[in-house]
Structure 1
Amino acid sequence: MVKCFFLALAGVMLFAAPVFAAELKLGIFNMQYVATQCDAAKAVQKKMQDQFSAEKTAIEKQEAELKRRAEEMQKSGDKMTPEAREDKRTQFIRMKRDYEDKARSFLRRVEQAEMKARQDITLLIVKAVQEIGNAKSYTVIMDGMSAGVLHADKSVDVTQAVLDEANKIYKTSGIPALPSANAKPKK
């Protein structure tokens, strides 16, 4: 029985030796760098600025108007009648609520657009990594930052190759960076 076990173990090791002898090809890249420097990220940034800048400016103007009115109420509060003071206070409270609602809604829409853009860019980068891995026969390609890699030889750094491939895929496939400004949210 013991002889059979050792013979079986020897047979397994003979057949497993070629598997262990296969070359391990490792690639490491900087996901954060690629995600911020790729053409898709730059297009997203520009599109978001174009899409949201007018509304951001309007909200900032409304905030400045609120501050101006608050200062005005403080300065002239003693000179007003109690009724006029109460009217101004009520009007100010309404304006403040309106501003807060608009600002909150604006921030929520911006966050949703950013989250969607990050997801799209991440999928683009994953596709680029898979293309490079298959084309150049990498065994493993990983994000050095999230994998906790503190040091790696420059020969395993594929960051530029991933960036180039992501740009190529973005230019050829037209992966959407942001939903249309007129798109209705799904319920």
Structure 2
Amino acid sequence: MEQDNGKVVEKDEVMQEEAEQNISDVGEQELDMSEKEPTVEEKYDTLNDNYIRLVAEFDNYRKRTIKEKAELIRSGGESVIVDVLPVVDNFERALKTIDSATDIVAIKKGTELIYQQLVKMLNDKGVKEIVTDNVDLDTELHEAITTLPVVEEERKGKIIDCTQKGYTLNDKVIRYAKVVVGE
């Protein structure tokens, strides 16, 4: 029986040690939990740091987009210039042959071909001529520079003459047509 009592005492001691260990572990966990709970100042510092990073990131984004827009504008003109160069080449060839040419019809035909090449290139880029032939004055497209009296009633308020062609680029007016209107 003494042996049983010794085992019981041993078990009691082991259990007591385990209980004390568990109590100490729980106490440490409570201390750890209280340490892990961020204070208001720590929360503020974290949020402030996140805010500062976000502002810096946005500022970098803004600067990058401004730089990209400037580069796009610079390189946007490049494609137009590249497309105009063949027209310039053709004009240079025509100018070289004009002095020695005797056939006026051929010179006229060559000049018309170069003009058509230029107009086609502009059309491909989205440039369109504003219509002015016998249409009503539209102040969104036309600029009336003067009026002329007309006898025919149906020509009143209509465009009689165009002194300078107007153009749109992708449906936006880039130059108003300067016109004479009947009154």
The TM-score with structure 2 as length reference comes to: 0.32
Choose 1 or 2 for highest CA Rg: 2
- Structure holding more helix per residue: 1
- Structure holding more strand per residue: 2
Ranked by relative contact order (alpha carbons within 8 Å, sequence separation 6 or more), the top structure is 1
The TM-score with structure 1 as length reference comes to: 0.32
